[in-house]
Amino acid sequence: MLRAMSLDYTVEQRPACAVVRATGEPTLGEFIAFLQAVGAESARWTCDCVMFDLRGIRTLTSFTEHYAVGQEVGRQLGHFRRLASVVAADRITRASEKTARQAGVNLHIFTDEGEALAWLAQAG
């Protein structure tokens, strides 16, 4: 497990995709730094899909924070064919999804991990 400020995360390389699980109470700045670190690290990964399990993130609840996250996803993770983010149902604003898609990133938000993984496995 890697520790980045108030955020812990693990990366699991699977044959079809990578799975990044994050937990903690990061500030927006800390979460942006996390996305930058994953963006740099993932440039060397062999897979073209990634699932972010963010159900363990207990901060970043506002629409404007989700918008900023979507902007950073657009900057850092555009090298993936598909990105899925799994969040708690009460956290969905679709702001990060819409913002990332405007930047050309194929991000979709899910509340169910199985559905996210199935979507990632679909042929592109």
> How far apart, in Å, are the Cα atoms of 18 and each of 26, 28, 67, 114?
22, 23, 24, 14
| pTM of the predicted model over 0.85 | yes
Q: What is the pLDDT of residues 3-41, one digit of tens each?
A: 456 899 999 999 889 999 999 999 999 999 999 999 999
Count of domains observed in the chain: 1
With tokens 């799994």, the residue in question is: 86
Q: What is the pLDDT of residue 6?
A: 87
Domain with residue 57: its CATH number is: 3.30.750.24
**Where in the sequence is the domain holding 66, given as residue range(s)?**
2-121
Q: What is the pLDDT of residues 51-85, one digit of tens each?
A: 999 999 999 999 999 999 999 999 999 999 999 99
